[in-house]
Amino acid sequence: MLSTDNNEHGGLEQRLQQRFQDAEATPGPDVWSRIDYDLAMLENKRYKKRALFYRQLAAACFILFILSGAALLLHFRQDTNHDLVAHANEANPQNQAASQPATETIAFNQAEDQSLVESEAGSVKSRAANSSIIADAGSSENTSIINTDLTIQKPANTPAKTETGSRSVNNKKADHTQQYSGTIAAVQQNQQVNPESVLENKEQSITAVYMPASQAIANVPDSYTSPESLNPLLLRNATLGTIGSTATTPQSIALEKPENVLAAATEQEKEEGTKENSRWNVGLGYASTYFTQNVNIPRQMITSMVIRRIDGTPPPGPTISGESEENLRDAYTEFYDNTEAALSFNIDAKAGFRIGKRFKILSGLGYSQNTSRTRTSYVVEQFLVNPVTNERVKLQPTTIFLPSLHTFTTDSISVIKTDPFSVDYSYQMLSVPLGAQVEGNLGKQWFWYANGSMAANFLIQSSIKSARAEVASVTYGPTDDSPFRKVQFSGNVGFGFGKRLSDALQVSFGPEYRSYFKTMLTDDKAAVSQGKPYTIGVNMGISYTLGK
């Protein structure tokens, strides 16, 4: 037996470890291409998953935006209605009294005539809902008016109540009778849909003032025979002296003509609607900017190649001649020195909602085309060797930018110096901004503003276009496997001045700065440290306030 038999980590293991520790075996030449393919598939799968997530996110944001808008709109309309009621009541104090809450009316009636309320308590309570509807009807809301008619013209709905109410009235003193006469008069004011009944009611009302109470009640038309079918809120009108006032000043009846009230209310509605609608505005903005892409390409690639070649080991990338190597180095330097911001633009269509006097929330849709430019004098040619025929295939020439972003997978590379030509890097994005703006007056017509927003930016197309015909221009669509980041967020700040051209129309002008939160290149393509892109420019906007 060997000495290692009883010592498991003995000589055998140690010597095997030493032998295998740094041992190497060359994998087949196609292993890397298989890995590359797998990685591409993996990236594609990840991208699809990410794209799906962002699509869902965008859809959710859109739905949220629509729902929020709808909720705000609804809220704003309700406000309008309430204000309209208030204004209508200002124009007609009787309606104001009629629009008091049902509970208040009940309490008031209890104080006014306990016995009457006792006899009618059940009826009054059961009519609480109808009362509020009738009160609203007095504020000229069309649907409510229809409800009023229905309430009044359907005595069959409350036959028992009608009977009870009539009996009660007949048994009361004259002031109670006067109350019901007043109630009828008040109802006349609320009958705004049927002109015939309105006129008829008016006559009856006037008649009621000058005739005995019993006669007045007797003259009530069939459709009004049930005081209980009338809004109990109107009892308060009568008690508060509607009749009294009309008796002393008959002209007030004319002033309270339904047509006049309706007209006044409509006018109020228009005015109020105008004021409230001015919360919303829509606008268009155009920004002329300079875009700095801040893309760095891996310069050290060439260094590693040189070192390996000195060591005598084969380079990891394609083979390259000494002259090309020198040109490659110059091309890198040139890219760093000659890449500069180019004229870009951004268009936004936004909807704004005013909060308070100075603040606005803005959101919408934007499109931007960001461009950077390099002036270069080097063309990169790459070659592939067909393993079967051993034939050398030349790929379409490019600039140093593209092969630097992709791993060198070609067999050889040649860098040729030519006349200088320009290369444009263009990135087209769709963006969904969400921001806030604060404004202040600088006089009657002028104002200042400052805004800040964040946006989700979706790269819809990126292209590298060369001014030299022989150099290939490359365009990546939204689904292509591009080295550029497809979705990223940005922050935007701006300020400036504006002028109100009219009540509804205003223009603005001011500088803006937009910074993207991530680099243009995706992380796996960014072999060296990358800068974050940004734009600086001037924004011009026009906005229109809705409803003015």
List the helix and strand counts (H, then E) for the chain: 18, 11
Q: Toward other proteins, which CB reaches closer, 38 or 118?
A: 38
Nearer to other proteins, 308 or 417 (CB): 308
Query: Which candidate, 390, 386, 493, places its Cα nearest to that of 450?
Result: 493
Under 8 Å CB-to-CB from 396, ≥6 apart: which residues?
Answer: 471, 472
Minimum distance of other proteins from residue 461's CB (angstroms)? 26
Between 222 and 523, CB nearer to other proteins: 523
Closest approach of other proteins to the CB of residue 301, in Å: 8
Closer by beta carbon to other proteins, 17 or else 68: 17
Token couple for 181:
């006469």
CB nearer to other proteins: pick between 22 and 222: 22
* Residue pair 524/510 in contact by the 8 Å Cβ criterion: no
Residue 479 in tokens: 């689904």
Q: Got the DSSP string for 310-356?
A: HHTSPPSS-EE-HHHHHHHHHHHHHHHHHEEEEEEEEEEEEEEEEET
Of all helices (H) and strands (E), which one includes residue 170?
Answer: helix 159-171
CB of 333: closest distance to other proteins in angstroms? 21
Q: How far apart are the first and last CA of the chain?
A: 105
Instruction: Pull the structure tokens for residue 194.
Output: 């049927």
- Choose among 515, 530, 535, 453: nearest CA to 484: 530
Please, which residue, 391 or 523, has the CB nearer to other proteins? 523
CB-nearer residue toward other proteins: 111 or 306: 306
Q: Least distance to other proteins from the beta carbon of 504, Å?
A: 53
- Of the two residues 15 and 75, which places its CB atom closer to other proteins in the complex? 15
Binding site for other proteins (CB under 8 A): 1-2, 5, 8-9, 11-13, 15-17, 19-20, 22-28, 31-32, 34-36, 38-39, 42, 298, 304, 316-317, 407-409, 523-524, 527
Gap between the Cα atoms of 437 and 111, Å rounded: 54
Of 227, 247, 296, nearest to 483 by C-alpha is 296
Q: Cβ atoms within 10 A of the Cβ of 471, count? A: 22
Min dist. Cβ of residue 413 to other proteins (A): 14
Category of 387 on φ-ψ map: left (φ > 0), alpha (ψ -120 to 50) or beta: alpha
By 3-state DSSP, what share of the chain in percent is helix, strand and coil, each rounded to 5?
45, 30, 25
Q: How far is the CB of 276 from other proteins (least distance, A)?
A: 53
Cα separation values, 331 from 334, 398, 466, Å: 5, 12, 15
Cβ proximity to other proteins: between 22 and 391 the closer is 22
Dihedral angle, C-alpha 316, 318, 321, 323, nearest 10 ° = -90
Work out how close the CB of 370 gets to other proteins at its nearest, in angstroms, rounded to a whole number: 26
In the numeric block, the tokens 């229809």 are attached to 146
**Shortest distance (Å) from residue 488 CB to other proteins:** 18
Determine which helix (DSSP H) or strand (DSSP E) holds 269, and give its type and residue range: helix 258-277
- For other proteins, the closer of residues 18 and 171 by Cβ is 18
Phi, psi of 382, rounded to the nearest 5 degrees: -120, 145
Q: How far is the CB of 408 from other proteins (least distance, A)?
A: 7
Nearest distance in Å: CB 28, other proteins: 5
Shortest Å, Cβ 339 to other proteins: 21
Half-sphere exposure of 298 (CA within 13 A, CB side): 19
Q: Based on CB atoms, which residue is closest to other proteins, 138 or 317?
A: 317
- Cβ neighbours of residue 372 closer than 8 Å, sequence gap 6 or more: 291, 292, 293, 295, 339, 340, 341, 342, 424, 425
